[in-house]
Amino acid sequence: MSARAALSLQVNGAAVDRDVEPRLTLADFLRNELKLTGTHLGCEHGVCGACTVLVDGEAVRSCLLFAVQAQGRSITTVEGLAQGADLHPLQRALLERNGLQCGFCTPGVLMTAMEFLENTSVPTREEIRKALSGTICRCTGYQGMVDAIAEIAGGDR
Amino acid sequence: MTREQLIRGEGQFIADLPDADCRWVAFVRSPHAHARVLSVLPPEGARDVTLVTGHDLASSIQPLRVQAPGLNVYDWHPMHPERALFVGDPVAAVVADSPYEAEDLADAVRIEYEPLPAVTSLEAAAGNETTIHPDLSDNVLFKFALNEGAATEAFASADLVVERTFRYPRQTAVPLECRGVLARYDPREQRFTVWTSTQVPHYLRNGLSQILGVPEDDIRVIRPDVGGAFGLKAQLFPEEVILPWLARETGGALKWVEDRRENLLASVHAHEGTLTLGAAFDGDGNLRAVRARAEGDAGAHSVFPFGAGLDPFTTVINIFGAYRHEIAEIDATSYATNKAPAGSYRGVGQVLSVFAVERLLDIAAGELGLDPAEIRRRNLLRTDDFPHTTPTGNAFDTGNYQETLRMALARADYDGLRAEQRTAATAGKQLGVGVGTFNEVTGVTLYPGYDGARVRIAPDGTIQGFMSSASSGQGHAEVYGRLIAEELGVSRDRVQIVEGDTDLCPSGSGTYASRTAVTMGNTLTLASQDLRRKLLKVAALMLKFEGELSDARVERELTIADGRICLAEDPATGVDFDEVVQAAYLQTLDFALPQEIVEAGLEVTRYEKLPQNVFSNTAIVAAVDVDTETGHFEIRRLVMVGDCGRILDRETVDGQAIGGAAMGIGCGTLEQLAYDADGQLLTASLMDYLVPTAMEVPPIEVGHLETPSSVTRNAAKGMGESGTMGIPAVLANAVADALGAEVTELPLSEERIAGLAMGASSL
Ligand code: FES
Ligand code: FES
């Protein structure tokens, strides 16, 4: 196949160096090369948000990025949220608030919410719904997710 | 996987399964809606390519003949050797070392087609100028009629007859996870293992066995974690046949993971059809007779196992089910067209019947000068009507439909909304209120409709339930685990649930038609109770009971709770659960357990089919603010009160109610697959086929009533599809109410509403 390109980046805090095909997407790199299969693919055309990861803290659709575009960046995936046995508080809240059923959208929802919570203090439900509007969930009707994010943001105005 | 594993990203969905030794399959799909396949050639200059065609497949499989009452039978080929019947129909498959390479290869395969005229509407199918299946010259895949002519007299003598034709759009379930298959063939054992994202592992094994011509025992179907299904994954797909077949041919493991375009083009569609519905009333607004004629667009195939009648049959058999009437004349037909095959999607058939019935009642109420709530009060079944059998033969055990309606109206402050409507008018903005009441058929006893459960306590005290169902994220394990724990008097965390593996689990129907709580739960209760009695008898022997040990006696004289079995009359005297288990297996007692009283081992398998379907019921009230200029509307209130009998797990029920309601908002307002006249799908991405996001789903207020079922052992009735089937109807009623216009077609797009508003204001 085509020539391979050298790639160095951080993933969940660890340095990673690989040679990859230039056309390999970041999502496939994470899933197939690094076996981080928590990042899911629901559309591969940028609509569903299931593949969302943080690139230098910014929520990004990993299906729309080539792995080589992440050269030198720091990536966080769903696998990087919990600290060993301890779930991230947002993960715990989502569990407790019935914010998932099949769990396929959940990683994308978590990463989207991570960025949102980083940048917004005490959001309204309306703001939370807007922030989630780029991630599709077919199971839950979103209510539990909105509740969980509101809880973590420390206010439900 | 547990919910905690899922939330850590540790789920094992089909795409996540280890695949280091797998080669990858990609499909070449027809770009034509209808064509003869003249030749299939490997890519120019390519050597050693694994390329298979319909001819290769046809030479070593048996075509499947999907059979059920009313179906016209023909040969179904997973990949037809000579013809492509819809855009997306698989025509060839290639194998490569990576998914990227497999797709490159598929793009380069050279196929020569001779395009044929495409049938893309019900009208064209019924006109039968073009025949899709040579065996079916009239393009009719399914036909059913009941009580022909029975309503003629009632209609002729009625004070009021209303009749309209309603249209439901073509939709598809869009589970967030697409389909996928991993297949292995072990030549030594001559055995297939097929991992697939499915709701129906045992049906699949059965279908595969027929097609591949091998015994069922030579096939193991395993369902990994499933990322949503909603009916879409309840059929046997061509890819699920082709991969195992090809794994045997090529002697290795193969994997295919669908992309979204394939999913929208070539999985299954659903819901599309028309219903001409007539209702005859007396002068007081009492319903006397109904007449319903449904026509469904089944697409290219009758799919296994349910067949092409699924939507239209379900539509007519359940027509006006929640309402008193004496006569129903019904018929249903499904036509073949050159579109993707129709299968199931949450709300099967009833999406259309509830839409049409609830619209028609509002239209009739208008003619009679009755409030929409009042016409429902007059006609809804009353508590003393139960048990009740409808003129189409549906039997209902119990229900409190009037109270469900009352609760929904009260919670939504229906009278207050109506008062506001009379007084507060804002230019360009109209408040509309919609009401709907209906029942949902659950735990369907057809096809073949039984479930199996095996409950086992291992010698070390591990408790496992093996189920014939196959969860796709509904939270089954929670409900099952609790049922077993309750019966065996142990804590919930001692119980493990295993689903979706045909080698381990007893055979049964899988998961569809909201059957989990009722039929699967029922069977599980049966098995757990048998096992409990066994434990009680061993305990009775350990407690030195004298005389005959009947089921009734041990149930009466012993209690089982908190890991202990005790005398009912003297709770201080008892034995520990674990001691009983050890005694049963290891015969640790100082006497032998008499075989005639209790067999060794603690394992029970039971199968059961309910004597009848079980119906839950729901009332929904919606208030919407419609912008009459743009056609945009906001949902102000959405109140849904359901009665699913005894609630086994509140969180699961609420999750199903709200999730189903969100899907109903999609079906009612956004979701529509569109084909052009040539049969090209115009909505093959999620930018074109729209599903609700968090912005489109307002807070949904859910209320419950619990009228126990008298048919199920656990007193539960199924639920899970009510929101999907009811909300489109209720939103249509609310929008029609706001505009003073008739709505007979969905979805309620802004264009459609703006058009209706214009039409209404020019009247
Ligand atoms: S998979 Fe990336 S947005 Fe859907
Ligand atoms: S939980 Fe299934 S898609 Fe969100």
* Predicted pLDDT at B611: 86
In a domain, B145, yes or no: no
pLDDT tens by residue, B182-224: 999 999 999 999 999 999 999 999 999 999 999 999 999 999 9
* Predicted pLDDT at B648: 84
Residues A44-76: b if buried by 16+ CB within 10 A, e if exposed? beebbbbbbbbbeeebbbbbebbbbebeebebb
Domain that holds residue B331: 273-445+611-757
Mutation choice for B interface testing from A20, A33, A34, A43 by most B CBs within 10 A: A43
Ligand 2 centroid to Cα of residue B496, in Å, is 23
Q: Test A136 with B661 for CB contact under 8 angstroms.
A: no
Closest atom of ligand 1 relative to the A136 alpha carbon: 4
Q: Are residues B575 and B690 in the same domain?
A: no
Residue B174 burial (CB count, 10 A) = 26
Q: Which of B289-298, B355-364, B423-432, B751-760 has the lowest mean pLDDT?
A: B423-432
In a domain, B497, yes or no: yes
Ligand 1 centroid to Cα of residue B223, in Å, is 23
Q: Which residues pair with B302 in a beta bridge?
A: B342
Check if the beta carbon of residue B199 is closer than 8 Å to that of residue B226: yes
Q: Give the pLDDT band of residue B514 (cuts 50, 70, 90).
A: low
pLDDT tens by residue, B455-504: 999 999 999 999 998 877 666 787 889 999 999 999 999 999 999 999 99
A-chain residues within 8 Å CB-CB of B3?
95, 100, 103
Ligand nearest to the CA of A65: 1
In a domain, B127, yes or no: no
Q: Are residues B368 and B416 in the same domain?
A: yes
Q: Tell me the mean pLDDT in the region B570-580.
A: 95
* Predicted pLDDT at B474: 62
pLDDT tens by residue, B294-339: 999 999 999 999 999 999 999 999 999 999 999 999 999 999 999 9
Residue B26 confidence (pLDDT) above 60: yes
- The CA-based dihedral angle spanning residues B211, B217, B220, B223, taken in that order and rounded to the nearest 10 degrees: 90
**Ligand 1 proximal residues by C-beta, below 6 Å:** A 41-44, 46-51, 61, 63
Q: Are residues B553 and B492 in the same domain?
A: yes
Q: Test B9 with A77 for CB contact under 8 angstroms.
A: yes
Of B608, B624, B656, the one marking the end of a domain is B608
CA dihedral sign of residues B644, B645, B649, B651 = positive
Binding-face residues of A in 24-63 toward B, CB within 8 A? 24, 31, 36-45, 47-48, 50
Ligand 1 centroid to Cα of residue B27, in Å, is 21
* Predicted pLDDT at A32: 96
- Indicate the DSSP class of residue B647: -
pLDDT tens by residue, B27-82: 999 999 999 999 999 999 888 899 999 999 999 999 999 998 999 999 999 999 99
Facing B687 at nearest CB: one of A40, A47, A129:
A47
Give the position of tokens 């060993």: A84
In a domain, B763, yes or no: no
Of B608, B643, B658, the one marking the end of a domain is B608
Q: Are residues B209 and B317 in the same domain?
A: no
Facing A104 at nearest CB: one of B227, B660, B691:
B227
* Predicted pLDDT at B598: 82
Ligand nearest to the CA of B13: 2
What is the spatial distance between Cα A66 and Cα B347, in angstroms, rounded to a whole number? 40
Q: Are residues B592 and B617 in the same domain?
A: no
Alpha carbon separation from B660 to A81, B357, B651, B727 (Å, rounded): 30, 20, 14, 9
Q: Which of A31-40, A77-86, A87-96, B508-517 has the lowest mean pLDDT?
A: B508-517
* Predicted pLDDT at A156: 43
* Predicted pLDDT at B16: 98
A66 and B CB contact within 8 Å? no
In a domain, B486, yes or no: yes
User: Domain of B73: which CATH number?
Assistant: 3.90.1170.50
Residue A67 confidence (pLDDT) above 90: yes
Name the percent of chain B lying above pLDDT 90: 84
Ligand nearest to the CA of A43: 1
Q: Is B510 left (phi over 0), alpha (psi -120 to 50) or beta?
A: left
* Predicted pLDDT at B713: 85
Q: Tell me the mean pLDDT in the region B376-381.
A: 98
Residue B589 burial (CB count, 10 A) = 14
Residue B596 confidence (pLDDT) above 80: no
pLDDT tens by residue, B254-295: 999 999 999 999 999 999 999 999 999 999 999 999 999 999
Which tokens hold the place of A139? 């199971």
Of B608, B637, B667, the one marking the end of a domain is B608
Name the percent of chain B lying above pLDDT 70: 98
pLDDT averaged over chain B? 94
Structural domains in chain A, sorted by start: 5-80 (3.10.20.30), 89-153 (1.10.150.120)
* Predicted pLDDT at A155: 52
Ligand 2, atom 3, residue with closest C-alpha:
A137
Number of structural domains in chain B: 3
Residue B443 confidence (pLDDT) above 80: no
Which tokens hold the place of B160? 């009021």
* Predicted pLDDT at B600: 79
User: Domain of B514: which CATH number?
Assistant: 3.30.365.10
| E strand intervals along chain A | 5-11, 14-20, 52-55, 58-61, 74-76
Q: Tell me the mean pLDDT in the region A93-112.
A: 97
Residue A1 confidence (pLDDT) above 60: no
pLDDT tens by residue, B84-131: 999 999 999 999 999 999 999 999 999 999 999 999 999 999 997 899
Q: Test B228 with A39 for CB contact under 8 angstroms.
A: no
In a domain, B204, yes or no: yes
Size of interface A-B (CB pairs under 8 A): 164
Q: Give the pLDDT band of residue B763 (cuts 50, 70, 90).
A: very low
What is the spatial distance between Cα A139 and Cα A142, in angstroms, rounded to a whole number? 8
What is the spatial distance between Cα A137 and Cα B63, in angstroms, rounded to a whole number? 37
Q: Are residues B743 and B628 in the same domain?
A: yes
pLDDT tens by residue, B675-714: 999 999 999 999 999 999 999 999 999 999 999 999 988 8
